[in-house]
Amino acid sequence: MKHKIEIILTVIALLLGMLATGCSQTSTTTTATEFNNVNSASIKSGNGLSLSVSLDAKTYQSGYAITIIITEYNTLSKTNKRPIADKWPIKGLSDGICGADNFPFGIDIFQGNYTADNISTATPLILDNPNIIVPDCMPSVFNFTAYDFKPSSDIAFLNAPYGSTTFEMSREVTAGVYWEGNRPDAVQQFFAPGVYTVVAGDEWGNLVVLHFTVTN
């Protein structure tokens, strides 16, 4: 009983935070939590990178938080320099309210059971509050031309004329509500019971599909 109360209080705190910020999809940290392959999928591409997405559960109750981790990993035992390509498998992928920012990957969530073959026919849920006018999002690094991945690592150096820096290519995203309608009258909704599809993609054209179920 005590454990159940703690879970309820945690969820209430999360939802209050979402309402305060007006954003249901937030990038909480660049250091991802380990889920021990509870619900995960990955794809290895010919360029030596592996794109993976994982969730902290396979089934959620409506109104509870959903934590998603996206990671781009260099499977080669040497430095892997990957020029930016902008060959996204589907449009609109993001890891937060500012889109993909300096990261080469993003996600979408769809209501329904889809695969890589038919995901292009589906419409993603709106995870960020469209009623909020977002100020200009400023990337941490400007005009970078490539990601230089360290050997056997998800650490990459963003190669740019000015302000080059190193990032862990792993992002943790929290979802739990979505929005219906258009600004300024969009309405917040909890995920209804049913099957949902999470899609993760990167700018080199890789696509990973994962599913979860929401219950009452």
Supply the pLDDT for residue 11.
40
Q: At 179, give phi and psi (nearest 5°).
A: -125, 140
> What is the mean predicted confidence (pLDDT) over 29-34?
46
Query: CA angle, 74 as apex, 119 and 144 as ends, to 5°?
Result: 85
What digits encode the pLDDT tens for the residues 73-93? 999 999 999 999 999 999 889
Query: CA angle, 29 as apex, 24 and 33 as ends, to 5°?
Result: 100
Q: CB of 66 within 8 A of CB of 190?
A: no
What digits encode the pLDDT tens for the residues 117-160? 999 999 999 998 888 877 667 677 888 899 999 999 999 999 88
Taking CA atoms, 185 is separated from 23, 97, 127, 181, 192, in Å, by 15, 18, 15, 6, 20
